[in-house]
Chain A
Amino acid sequence: MMDATPRDFKKFTRKSLPRVEALAQGHRACQGCGEILALRMALKAMGKNIIVASATGCMEIVTSSYPQTAWEVPWIHVAFENAAAVASGIEAGRKALMRKGRLRKQRTTIVAMAGDGGTADIGIQALSGALERGHDFVYICLDNEAYMNTGIQRSSATPYGAMTTTSPPGKLSIGQHTWKKNVPAIAAAHGIPYVATASPAYYLDLMNKAKKAAMIKGPAYLHLYSPCPTGWRLAPERAVEISRLAVRTNIFPLYEVVDGQYILTKKIKKPKPVEEYLKLQGRFRHLDKKTIQEIQDRVDREYEALVQKAAVAEAEEESTEEAEK
């Protein structure tokens, strides 16, 4: 299998971090917002030769309140559920204009961005369509695990047991009673060249994945862990800490899917118990021991399945080499 990673891809290092900012200071995000942090990192990595199509959501309202804008790159917002479709139109329009000689030939990264509601729920059809059509664009899902902009309502990306304003715990409810939808796997199922998960606690990893996604031709999907202190009932200064814990507990594993191959980008030798992650957040405060154990078992199982998938890919690679010898 061919690796989609471009030959001229060079990783950022601590010493070669880009100074460029697409998003100006002075936006209206909440204190300690992990979403805008993840977004800023991704944008820094992709540079200023980009066009952004944004879904309705926190990132849209905090950056674009007319007559002000935090955007120093071209940016468009149309509606909640259609960021991928708008981005695909931008890409197609520019492609036609360049072919017809009315626009200077140049590769510009087209970015679609949406929250988990705009991705896993209402926007999944537009996302699937754009991935299937094979447009050259990067889709960024900023996953803060609920509809935060409208007031912390559950989405299909809200984790099991979490309290939201529409999944309240009660006599008959533990809170969110469904398991988080695996959108990266859905994106990968489209056979696109690049899918990756990333966390702002591992900023080099996040930025390198964003850079790679922008360089790869064809659709790329980035799923960014985006802690929301406001919605998660988390201390604002703990956004980065919780991002790290999500990875160290295997709740949010970091991996890439390059041309269909799963590659773990962070292997956790001794994962921490999920309880350490859950107990920092008010949204899980009501969970009892039994439910926490249930979550632990599910996380272990899912992580194991991911490792197996990644391992299978490696095993196949080895057997191919055997055959070539």
Chain B
Amino acid sequence: MPKRVGIEVSLAASEAACAADVDVIAADPVTPQTHIVEHLSELVADGELDAEFMPVESEHSAMSACIGAAAAGARTFTATSAPGLALMHEIVFIAPSLRTPIVMVVANRALSGPISIWNDHSDIMAERDCGWIQTFAENGQEVFDLIIHAFRVAEDPEVLLPVIVNMDGFTLSHVIEPIEMLSASEVSEYLKPYNPQMVLDPREPITMGPVGVPEMYTEARYQAESVLNGSKKVIVKAWKEFAKLYGRSYKPIETYRTEGAEVVLMTMGSVTETAMTAVDRMREKGIEVGLMRFRLWRPFPVQEFRRAVKGIKALAVVDRAISFGAQGGPVCSKVKSALYGAPDQPQVFGFISGLGGRDITVEMFEEIVKKAIRYATKGKGPMYELIGVRER
């Protein structure tokens, strides 16, 4: 039986990579990702993990080295946060095109400026169209499980795409939680050794990353889009098998007390647990509110989402990033576009909160729900609202 231990979530993330028996880790330190790579370097130094730990000079080189290692047939892991993710941006887009199944944990942090080391989702939202599979963890257990799941999906011969596991910086990365840790041998039942389809090997030379002339580029991009959309089947199947083996089940979209709900809050990441408390409190007061969150962000689970919102009158989408100049947050925009043309759509109201490490409290969620109920009754609300902003 797996051991349940109290452990810092970052360390649990490292332990997950260790249990997956990664071959190469290439990373540069950036707050709040640091504890993950510190612990991995310890595991390698102590001989508990047989891997090459590459302390590269930048995140740009981290992702480049990961691509090289994966192209050579190695199971490859990295972790980063906002400035590091932004620096590797160019290479992040190339990894799926080369079909390199890298797993990356992003300890979500606000993008500069002003410089902020604290949590929001602006870093990952800037990479949302990068072609990677992207999941969001709500708690430490999910971080551990999603990393194991990420390797399984990434390396599936039908997928061969890189995966990002998002976890909130500090609010999740730096807290100690009780987590059921699977050992390498327990994981080995679920995650077989990486069996790459094509590798850089002098015995069978291949050319990777050629020039995509206009006659070829569209088709290459179409393939990238098809394989990412097609990966959802594998993602869901891998979660089902995970549940069978380890007893914890995961879905692309999770709902909480949505039965008969008038308004449903939509969240991502660790604020979900705060939102649950708010839902419980309001339900006690007789307010019919529920909660929904995306665990799978890319590929966007559009059918599951449309099914989940059936019968719901209003959605209050809480974004933790601003899509500048677009009058709203990126999640709310996606939600609206996913609903466009669907029958019996709920009304959608966008709220932006929790930027750069500012807490979203239970009271703030209550305020958001109250506003959404008011707007829904009136039949209209503002394009979006920034909750908790001081204007002076």
**What residues make up the interface of A, taking CB atoms closer than 8 Å to B?**
48-51, 53, 60-61, 64-67, 69, 71-79, 81-82, 84-97, 99-100, 102-103, 108, 125-126, 128-130, 132-133
Contacts and interface: CB of A to CB of B under 8 A. Distances in A.
Contact of A100 (B23, B62, B202): B23
A86 B193 contact: no
Interface centre among B94, B204, B205 (most CB of A within 10 A): B205
Contacts of A93: 23-24, 52, 68-74, 76
Which interface class (under 10, 10 to 19, 20 to 34, 35 or more) fits B? 35 or more
Contacts of B212: 66
B207 A95 contact: no
A67 B216 contact: yes
A88 B68 contact: yes
A132 B58 CA distance: 13
Given A85-B65, A125-B57, 6 more contacts: A69-B207, A77-B208, A85-B60, A92-B52, A96-B74, A100-B50
A65 B207 CA distance: 10
Given A78-B94, A93-B73, A95-B52, A51 B200 contact: yes
B338 to A, nearest CB: 33
A74 B205 contact: yes
B90 to A, nearest CB: 6
B91 A126 contact: no
Interface of B: 23-24, 26, 50-52, 54-58, 60-62, 64-74, 76, 90-91, 94, 98, 193, 200-202, 204-213, 216
B169 to A, nearest CB: 25
B90 A79 contact: yes
A128 B68 contact: no
Contacts of A92: 24, 26, 52, 54, 65, 68-69, 74
18 contacts: A49-B202, A65-B210, A69-B207, A75-B207, A78-B64, A79-B90, A82-B61, A85-B61, A89-B69, A90-B72, A92-B65, A93-B76, A97-B23, A100-B50, A108-B202, A126-B57, A126-B58, A126-B61
A92 B51 CA distance: 9
Given A78-B91, A97-B74, A129-B58, A89 B209 contact: no
Given A67-B216, A74-B200, A82-B91, A89 B23 contact: no
A78 B67 CA distance: 8
A65 B211 contact: yes
6 pairs of A and B residues whose beta carbons are closest in the complex: A89-B68, A89-B65, A129-B57, A93-B69, A93-B74, A93-B72
Given A48-B202, A133-B54, A89 B60 contact: no
A89 B200 CA distance: 12
A125 B71 CA distance: 22
Contacts of B73: 93-94, 97, 102-103
Contacts of A50: 202
